[in-house]
Structure 1
Amino acid sequence: MVAVESTEIVEIARAETERGDVVLRRRPSEAGADVLELRVNGVFVMDTLETTSEIELAAQALELVDDPRSVLIGGLGLGFTLQRVLADPRVERAAVVEIEEPLIRWMREGTVPHGPAILADRRATIVNADIAMAIAEARSTYDLVLLDVDNGPGYLVHQANEAVYEEHFLQQCRDLLSPGGVLVIWSGNPAPELLEVMREVFGAAEEQRHDVLLQDRPEGYYLYLARST
């Protein structure tokens, strides 16, 4: 008897928050292993198949700082940015700010299978809060600030996240960085206005495009980088 591979997409976790629904789905892939997919308000956010840009968010920033002891990450996602940060032995402290408590719980409890191992690292601290509030209330400085809290300024999942890409918030990020520290922002689409505002705030900023395959479709993701003086 020949086994037939399932093509079914299965919802494995769902939570309703004041911002809408947060959903984890499992789908099959041509490679054989199932893929875990995160959606917010019906919008695809990320999955476990194409993680290049989440990892590059950390990798590119870590290369720019000689001694990245402390790192602040806005957005836990499925943990790949945090995992890459913790893979760097120079990092002594990594704080992650995530607004959706169910996502934190799913990572801790193993609903996201690789979650418990990542969060077990004693250098990692998870804060359930809005990133804008966390940045405004921060009392320590960081060598790196990595932001992946939405799909970018041109394709917002939550309209309130628009403030994350504006001058006032970026100034707060700059003030939070130690001398020579780096801010990196992830975007799913080109964001020329964000690049311009970052240049106004920091004096200089850079755009990097990363080509990826997303569910067999060629896509381009973007990183925006700036350094404090």
Structure 2
Amino acid sequence: MARLFEQIDSQPSEIGEITLRRRRIPALGDRDIYEVKLGEEFLMSSMFVDAEVALSNLGLEATEGDNLSVVVGGLGLGYTAVAALRHERVGELLVVEYLEPVIRWHQQENVPLGKDLNADARSRYVHGSFFDMAVADPESGGFDPEAPGKQFDAILLDIDHSPRALLNDSSASFYTTDNITLMARQLKPRGIFAMWSNEGEDPVFMDVLKEVFTDVVCHVVSFYNPFQNRESFNTVYVARKPG
């Protein structure tokens, strides 16, 4: 019989202890549930991935063209990245992750979707801070360390819980008009920026997006929460760079 709980790994990181756990809840079915914690805070559970998948689907459905170059900010348990690779128009996927242990979990296939990411030649892990890379000088930096100044068709972000609920205070300045504008330099004309949030539509952040982008929409993604026996929701912002 499989154990009901197992701590797979726990490692120090730049922003605290990061832990990968696996559990089974018999009342919810015979399947493994993977969880990531930062200190005592839950970052992600494989129980709730609808919006992470929707982030890729909504963002890439809005993206024009073929052989798309795509950045995913935040690896997590890999659901956004793998959902992006299911789109045949994606020609290249860079997954930017600040926490090196999270990359190792996927490289060593300690999480189920690591195998999918490792087996797809279009996918590449990039260890670094998404927020620092987003505002880097395009002549010498950016999201692709092998190609400074490169522009992308889509940037899909899933790191903070929302523009107000941050994993680390250092990212607060990103959600401003100035820094969103700097990030947009790394998008091709008419490229797409999409972002996951655990909260409802943020009017202040919507105004920021509308100052930089066109066609700004905040989608509500509903899903069933068995712990609360009711529907829950996340949101996905999608915005297009003018061009």
- 1:81-104 Cα shifts (integer Å, max 9, x gaps): 111111111111111110000000
Does residue 1:25 correspond to 2:21, yes or no? Answer: yes
Residues 1-229 of structure 1 aligned to structure 2 (within 5 Å): 8-29=4-25, 30-68=28-66, 69-135=68-134, 136=136, 137-138=141-142, 139-190=149-200, 191-217=202-228, 218-229=231-242
CA distance in 1, matches of 2:121, 2:99: 21
Task: Give the TM-score normalised by the residue count of structure 1.
Answer: 0.91
Post-superposition CA distance 1:160-201 (Å, at most 9, x none): 122232222211222211111110011111222211111112
| 1:80-129, Cα deviation, whole Å (9 max, x unpaired) | 11111111111111111100000000111011133133222111111100
Identity in percent: 28
Pairwise CA distance, 1:203:
4.3
Aligned partners of 1:154 and 1:189 also within 8 Å? no
Tell me, what secondary structure is at the counterpart of 2:93?
strand
- Please give the per-residue CA displacement for 1:58-93, whole angstroms capped at 9, x wherever unaligned: 000111123251001110111111111111111111
Cα pair 2:64 2:191 within 8 Å, conserved: no
Structure 2 spans left out of the alignment, 5+ residues: 143-148
TM-score (normalised: structure 2) = 0.86
Q: Is the 8 A contact 2:73 2:130 kept in 1?
A: yes
> For the Cα contact (< 8 Å) 1:145–1:173, is it kept in 2?
no
Gaps of 5+ in 1: none
Report if aligned partners of 2:82, 2:116 keep a CA contact under 8 Å in 1: no
Provide the aligned length of Structure 1 versus Structure 2. Answer: 225
Aligned AA for 1:154?
R
Question: How far apart, CA to CA, are the structure 2 residues paired with 1:126 and 1:110?
Answer: 14
